[in-house]
């Protein structure tokens, strides 16, 4: 049924209609926004280990500039701008999660090498995603919601239709932006809620008060949100208390912790042990997902090649909305990039490293492109899959005699290229979903992403060197948490003291939940991410559940969900845009409050419940004829 629906799907701009799309104005604006968002997100990633999604705020900004200033009214042109902008955000994530580890290890690295890594990773991410578009975006249109891509499409369409739809998005935008403003910019209230459980030592639950996660939970629905929350709860109320109980009287220091287990609180137990278990679970869940989709993947690639052959032979003409970049150029681009990585002495990864990049790049690009369709780009476990790559590649290099700084540099180079490819592939998947809904031309979006990658990649190396010189990676001013973890892992392998037991436990958990009929990758994402994120997404799923439950008919439920999705899109857009503005203000050193004014943690929870109630009310409100 799902495939039938997707085959008859008609986008907002039908294939028979052409509008200005990949224009000079869109390219210039997209390049500027890609560089800006890349710098802002690189700073945030180094500061807190997380980045913000760029697609929706980019769509809002592009509409404001193109429509408000240049008086241009093409929704497809706006779509190109937001597509290019996400390249900066993706490269920022791929770079800051891995490359600062080289600085932390005092390994000399030039800006040229930094640029080379992010550019090759970004280009591979785009090229490797192209053959997957028909399978993930078209054939599974009704199965994979791609929450941020869907929300972005609603934002773009609301700018076209105006009226009721625009009001819904705008109202959500104002609420989401306002809450983000008072939490992160003004720091009026705390951003999270953390509580222990009575007579249950080391057990804890918590949540963020950010409305974007609420909107993501609403869009992905109650089932997926619940499975994600289950993974988080399994970590916070099962594994953490269990580790604390059995090691409560242990005065020994158990690696990877640096303090005795009995001195660690719940947060320290999670940070020192659960992180590794979650990484193993994500790696195993990703491989399970890949194996399950492998037959469909092979069949879809064959169909894609056949369709392009038919097109070239003149037997059948693809519609405008179904034309990808020519497959021969895509394959040639991948092969050339792999050969350049293998034989250019700049990287020193050699043929082994290049083959590893080709294998893990394609495997995890497939997984990343699918998982962002479920949980969104902001919650995508890119770092978890990068950890899996780093672990395996480091072992292979060590097996072939690579040691010391040379082996560490080669391993981190491979991991960084793969990480960047995953981040870019996940973002372009969201963008292609947006394009599929609004009627964009796929090949033009893919070209736009390549341009965005090139523009932001050329300045990313400079930004990393600048941040390290100004703040210093691994310091209180710029902790670089993900890169510190990569440093620990790669040192652990080459020094022979990695906690493999924890990683294998995580993999075993993923296998067990898969046998129980639970989506192991979604569960593993919840296990790997902090419980605060999973629970906030779960609240969005709860709101969606009550909307489904109390709608009187299928038609009413469909209309209610549509209204709620528009409002949720506004929540995501409002928070994302304010988040980027706050990042830019911090980046240019505009003084902002350093301490929270009201320390009471229940006040932000009350504000969050009000936003939940507004989302439900908007969904259930009957539209006047």
CB atoms within 10 A of CB 472: 14
Backbone φ and ψ for 200, nearest 5 degrees, come out as -135, 85
Binned at pLDDT 50, 70 and 90, residue 4 comes out as: very low
Range with lowest mean pLDDT among 77-86, 206-215, 581-590: 581-590
Residue 10 half-sphere exposure toward CB, CA atoms < 13 A: 3
Helix (H) or strand (E) run with residue 253 in it: none
Give the pLDDT score at 29: 94
CB atoms within 10 A of CB 507: 22
DSSP characters over 419-465: HHHHHHHHHHHHHHHHHHHHT--HHHHHHHHHHHHHHHHHHHHHHHH
| Residues contacting 334, CB < 8 A, separation 6+ | 124, 127, 128, 358
Give the pLDDT score at 434: 94
Backbone φ and ψ for 107, nearest 5 degrees, come out as -90, 125
Binned at pLDDT 50, 70 and 90, residue 314 comes out as: very low
* Token output for 23: 């224009």
Q: Which residue has the tokens 């990676």?
A: 473
Estimate the crossing angle of helix 481-495 against helix 24-48, to 10 degrees.
60
Integer-rounded Cα Rg, in Å, for the chain is: 23
Question: 216 or 333: whose pLDDT is higher?
Answer: 333
* Token output for 376: 């969104």
CB atoms within 10 A of CB 170: 17
* Token output for 492: 């652990």
Q: Which residue has the tokens 């793969």?
A: 418
CB atoms within 10 A of CB 469: 9
Q: Mark 539-551 as b/e (b = at least 16 C-beta within 10 Å).
A: bbbbbbbebeeeb
pTM of full prediction above 0.85? no
Range with lowest mean pLDDT among 71-85, 282-296, 309-323: 309-323
Strands (E), 441-583: none
The answer to whether residues 241 and 534 touch, using CB atoms and an 8 Å cutoff, is no
d(CA 476, CA 479): 5
pLDDT digits (tens, 9 = 90+) for 417-468: 999 999 999 888 999 999 999 999 999 999 999 999 999 999 998 888 888 8
CB atoms within 10 A of CB 330: 20
d(CA 59, CA 216): 17
Average pLDDT over residues 19-45: 88
**Is the pLDDT score of 176 beyond 60?**
yes
d(CA 69, CA 81): 15
Total number of residues shown for the chain: 625
Give the pLDDT score at 296: 64
DSSP characters over 178-242: HHHIIIIIS--S-SEEEEEETTEEEEEEEEE--HHHHHHHHHH-HHHHHHHHHHHHHIIIIIHHH
Beta-bridge mates of residue 200:
197
The per-residue pLDDT of the chain, averaged, comes to 85
d(CA 580, CA 586): 10
Binned at pLDDT 50, 70 and 90, residue 58 comes out as: confident
Question: 523 or 94: whose pLDDT is higher?
Answer: 523
* Token output for 484: 């510190």
Q: Look at the alpha carbons of 538, 540, 542, 545 in this order and tell me if their dihedral is positive or negative.
A: negative
Q: Which residue has the tokens 């869907």?
A: 150
pLDDT digits (tens, 9 = 90+) for 546-558: 999 998 888 899 8
DSSP characters over 60-124: HHHHIIIIIIS----HHHHHHHHHHHHHHHHHHHHHHTTTHHHHHTT----HHHHHHHHHHHHHH
Estimate the crossing angle of helix 327-343 against helix 275-312, to 10 degrees.
130
Range with lowest mean pLDDT among 54-58, 86-90, 258-262, 523-527: 54-58
**Is the pLDDT score of 341 beyond 90?**
yes
Residue 479 three-state SS: coil
| Residues contacting 155, CB < 8 A, separation 6+ | 56, 59, 60, 63, 169, 569, 570, 573
Give the pLDDT score at 544: 96
Give the pLDDT score at 333: 96
Q: Mark 387-407 as b/e (b = at least 16 C-beta within 10 Å).
A: bbbbbbbbebbeeeebeeeeb
| Residues contacting 557, CB < 8 A, separation 6+ | 547, 548, 551
- Reference 361, options 89, 139, 146, 120; nearest CA is 120
pLDDT digits (tens, 9 = 90+) for 527-573: 988 898 889 999 999 999 999 999 888 889 988 988 898 898 889 87
Give the pLDDT score at 311: 46
d(CA 421, CA 122): 5
Helix (H) or strand (E) run with residue 412 in it: helix 404-438
Residue 472 three-state SS: coil
């Amino acid at each position: 049924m799902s495939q039938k629906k997707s085959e008859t799907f008609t986008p907002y701009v039908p294939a028979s209609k052409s509008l200005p799309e990949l224009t000079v104005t869109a390219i210039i604006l997209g390049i500027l926004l890609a560089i800006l968002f890349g710098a802002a997100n690189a700073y945030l990633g180094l500061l807190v280990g997380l980045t913000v999604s760029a697609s929706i705020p980019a769509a809002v900004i592009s509409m404001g500039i193109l429509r408000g200033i240049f008086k241009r009214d093409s929704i497809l042109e706006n779509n190109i701008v937001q597509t290019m902008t996400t390249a900066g955000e993706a490269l920022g994530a791929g770079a800051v999660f891995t490359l600062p580890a080289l600085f932390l290890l005092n390994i000399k690295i030039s800006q040229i090498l930094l640029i080379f890594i992010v550019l090759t990773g970004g280009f591979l991410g785009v090229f490797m995603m192209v053959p997957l578009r028909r399978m993930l975006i078209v054939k599974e249109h009704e199965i994979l919601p791609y929450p941020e891509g869907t929300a972005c499409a609603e934002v773009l369409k609301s700018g076209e239709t105006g009226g009721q739809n625009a009001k819904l998005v705008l109202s959500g935008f104002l609420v989401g932006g306002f809450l983000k403003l008072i939490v992160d910019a003004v720091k009026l209230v705390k951003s999270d809620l953390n509580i222990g459980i009575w007579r249950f030592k080391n057990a804890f639950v918590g949540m963020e008060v950010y409305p974007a996660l609420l909107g993501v939970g609403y869009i992905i629905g109650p089932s997926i949100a619940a499975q994600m929350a289950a993974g988080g709860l399994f970590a916070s109320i099962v594994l953490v208390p269990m580790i604390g109980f059995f090691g409560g009287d242990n005065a020994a220091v158990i690696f990877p912790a640096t303090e005795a287990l009995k001195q660690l609180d719940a947060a320290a137990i999670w940070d020192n042990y659960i992180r590794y278990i979650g990484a193993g679970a994500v790696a195993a869940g990703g491989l399970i997902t890949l194996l399950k989709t492998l037959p469909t993947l092979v069949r879809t690639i064959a169909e894609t090649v056949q369709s392009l052959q038919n097109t070239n032979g003149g037997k059948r003409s693809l519609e405008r909305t179904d034309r990808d970049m020519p497959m021969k150029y895509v394959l040639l681009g991948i092969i050339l990039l792999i050969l350049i990585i293998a034989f250019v002495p700049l990287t020193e990864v050699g043929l082994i490293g290049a083959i590893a990049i080709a294998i893990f790049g394609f495997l995890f690009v497939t997984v990343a492109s699918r998982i962002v369709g479920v949980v969104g780009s902001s919650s995508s476990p890119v770092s978890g899959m990068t950890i899996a790559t780093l672990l395996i590649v480091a072992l292979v290099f060590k097996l072939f005699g690579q040691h010391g700084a040379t082996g560490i540099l080669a391993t981190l180079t491979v991991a960084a290229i793969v990480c960047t490819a995953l981040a870019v592939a996940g973002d372009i998947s969201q963008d292609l979903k947006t394009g599929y809904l609004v009627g964009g031309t796929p090949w033009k979006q893919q070209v736009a992403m390549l341009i965005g990658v090139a523009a932001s990649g050329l300045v990313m190396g400079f930004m990393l060197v600048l941040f390290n010189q100004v703040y210093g990676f691994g310091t209180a001013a710029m902790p670089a948490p993900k890169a510190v973890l990569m440093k620990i892992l790669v040192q652990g392998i080459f020094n022979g003291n990695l906690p493999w037991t924890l990683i294998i436990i995580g993999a075993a958990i993923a296998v067990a939940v898969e046998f129980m009929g639970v989506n192991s990758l979604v569960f593993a994402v919840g296990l790997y991410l902090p419980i605060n994120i999973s629970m906030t997404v779960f609240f969005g799923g709860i709101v969606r559940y009550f909307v489904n439950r109390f709608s009187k008919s299928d038609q009413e439920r469909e209309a209610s969900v549509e209204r709620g999705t528009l409002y949720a899109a506004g929540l995501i857009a409002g928070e994302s845009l304010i988040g980027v503005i706050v990042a830019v203000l911090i980046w240019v050193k505009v003084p902002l409050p350093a301490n929270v004014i009201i320390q009471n943690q229940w006040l932000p929870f009350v504000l969050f419940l009000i936003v939940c109630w507004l989302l439900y009310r908007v969904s259930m409100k009957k539209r006047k004829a």
